[in-house]
Structures are given as C-alpha cells and as structure tokens.
Amino acid sequence: MIKNVLVVLALLGLLVMFLPIVNNFQERSELSELATDYVNGSIKDLNSPNVVTSVIVTYRGLDTLGEVTVLFLATLAVGFLLKKKALKTEKKEATENLKTTSTFLAALVMVLGIYIFSHGHLTPGGGFQGGVIIASGFLLLILADINLKINHTIIQLVESFSGVFYVIIGAVGLVLTIGFLNSRIIPLGEFGNLFSAGSIPIIYSLIGLKVGAELTNIIDTMEGE
Amino acid sequence: MSSIIIIVLGIIMLGAAFITIYLKNLVAAIISAGVISLLASVIYLVLGSPDVAMTEASIGSALTTVIFLFALNKLRKENKND
C-alpha cells in the first residue's frame, strides 16, 4: 500500500518537474547560432554531406572517444565476470539447409554493416550502427551453426589495433596543430565521394571494426555455456 | 499527420511497457520490451533523425533483446544445476 502511494507521489513529482518545460516549449523557426555554424562548417570546412557524422566524429570527437572507451570497459567487465565454463553439453548438429542459408545470409548482413560504416559521411548511419550490424551477422552464425568457434585472438587484435589507430589519428591532428581528432589532417577530396571528408571515413571504419569486434565478443561470451 | 502517427505509436509503446511489467512469462516480457525500442525507432524516423533510428533499431530492439534472452537461458541452466 505504502509502496503504491510512493510510486504515485514520484510520478506526480516528475509531472511537476516536466510541466514547465512542456508549457514553455516554442518551436524555433530558424537554427540557433551554434547549429548554423555546424551546418555551414560541415559542408564548407569538412566536405561532409552528413552533418550528424561530422558533429559526432569531428566537432564532438572527444565525446565519441569516451563512448568507445565506455563500450570497451563494458566488454572487459562482461568477459571478466562471465568466463566460459569448460563443461559442454552435447547438442544436436544443425541441418545442412540451416547451415548453408545462415552462412549466405550472414555474409550479406556483414556487407551491409561494412557499407554503413564506410559510407557514414554520405548516408545516415556510421561506426556504431555498422558495428552492431556486423555483430548481428556473427550472432546469426552462432545461433545457426552450433560448432562455430570464434577466434578470440583475431577479435582482440582487430579491437585493439583499431582503438590504437583511432587515438593515433586523433593525435596527428595535435602534432599538425589543427586540433585533436580534427578530420582535416588529410586532403578533403571531392564533395560527395567515398574518399572525401578527410579522415572521417577512416575514423568511422575503425570505430565500426572496434564496436563489431567488442559486441561479437560479448555475444560469444554470453552464449557459451 | 506525423503527430497522429507519433501519438498512436506512443500509446502502443505504453501498452507494451505495461505488458512487460505485468506479464508472468519472462520470454514474452523480453520480446515486449524489444517492441518498445522498435516503435521508438519508427518515431525517430518520423521525426527526421534516421541516424538515431538506426542505432535504436539495431541496439535497442535486436542486440539487447538477444542478450536478455541469453542471460535468461543462463540463469535457467544454473538453477537446474543446483
């Protein structure tokens, strides 16, 4: 009884807190000063059609580095707490149809993931989304093909090398005195091409590989009994 | 038009949230929690942010659901062994 009353009181408190925000909400007819700067700068200075990507990778690059670090720590914690136990129960072998179809589909899913992170500066999406899609391709393989063994050495190598290169690319900007993680360290290229927008596609590909490797590791650790 | 879609989807999301809380069947509750994320990603798409919609659809509705199901499976196995 008291619990329910407290829940209702908490909800009423939230309502009181949020009501002024809802009441004072006014739709803006034009972008704020900072947003105008980002939209213009993304096209003029960085040569990237996708403004969201240029904000995530260049203008707020340090935040993205922190986000990648958080995901890395989460993977470490999952791997540390959920060690694979040696006991293995006998499972039924997957049928030939299931194996063939899932291998074929997983290849398509992974190609889609690679497309999404390498075209992050041109179309919606980017490193995180592409990485998750690659991990879901591996999930399909793990679920369908029971005897699949994922090579953890390769996963760790991909994960750590992409992380190191990400930081190195950021530090090159410091050496050239443009700014940490600034994408103008290499020529910007032609607007709208795959190889354009400076180092944005390189950084996003590295993030995609890193996220894909980490999430594949988490799924593999969670699934193994 | 877009506000009608958002209101309808929001009501369905509220319903799915209540189902998630009150359902005794844990697998169905996990699936219902995944439905909330999927509808949220549709709302993001209607509001014009495809980047966030992709993240929500892939992480929120696919990966989180699968990890919850794996965790449930692990818990059941450990309970059986005891």
Q: A24 lies in a domain?
A: no
Q: Which of A47-51, A142-146, A163-167 has the lowest mean pLDDT?
A: A142-146
> Tokens 């696919």 belong to which residue?
B62
Write down the pTM of the prediction. 0.82
Do A129 and B58 make contact, defined as CB atoms within 8 angstroms? Answer: yes
| Mean pLDDT of the B33-52 span | 90
Q: A4 lies in a domain?
A: no
Number of domains in chain A: 1
* A219 interface with B at CB cutoff 8 Å: yes
Q: A32 lies in a domain?
A: no
Which structural domain, as residue segments, surrounds residue A172? 50-83+92-223
Q: A2 lies in a domain?
A: no
Q: Which of A74-83, B41-50, B56-65 has the lowest mean pLDDT?
A: A74-83
Q: For chain A, how far is it from start to end, CA to CA, in angstroms?
A: 42
- Residues on chain A touching B55 (C-beta within 8 angstroms): 128-129, 132
| Mean pLDDT of the A31-38 span | 83
In terms of Cα–Cα distance, which of B70, B42, B31, B63 is closest to A137? B63
In terms of Cα–Cα distance, which of A108, A153, A137, A134 is closest to A207? A134
Do B55 and A219 make contact, defined as CB atoms within 8 angstroms? Answer: no
Do B77 and A132 make contact, defined as CB atoms within 8 angstroms? Answer: no
Phi first, then psi: what are they for A193, rounded to 5°? -85, 165
Q: A31 lies in a domain?
A: no
Do B62 and A132 make contact, defined as CB atoms within 8 angstroms? Answer: yes
| Mean pLDDT of the A20-32 span | 82
DSSP characters over chain B: -HHHHHHHHHHHHHHHHHHHHH-S-HHHHHHHHHHHHHHHHHHHHHTT-HHHHHHIIIIIIIIHHHHHHHHHHHHHHHHHH-
Q: A161 lies in a domain?
A: yes
From the list A129, A139, A225, which residue is nearest B55 (CB)? Answer: A129
pLDDT tens-digit profile of A118-133? 888 888 888 888 889 9
Do B54 and A219 make contact, defined as CB atoms within 8 angstroms? Answer: no
Chain A: closest CA distance from residue B17 (Å): 16
Q: A44 lies in a domain?
A: no
Position A87 pLDDT exceeds 60: no
Position B77 pLDDT exceeds 70: yes
Do A129 and B50 make contact, defined as CB atoms within 8 angstroms? Answer: no
Contact A181, A98 (CB under 8 A): no
3-state secondary structure of A203: helix
From the list B50, B51, B58, which residue is nearest A136 (CB)? Answer: B58
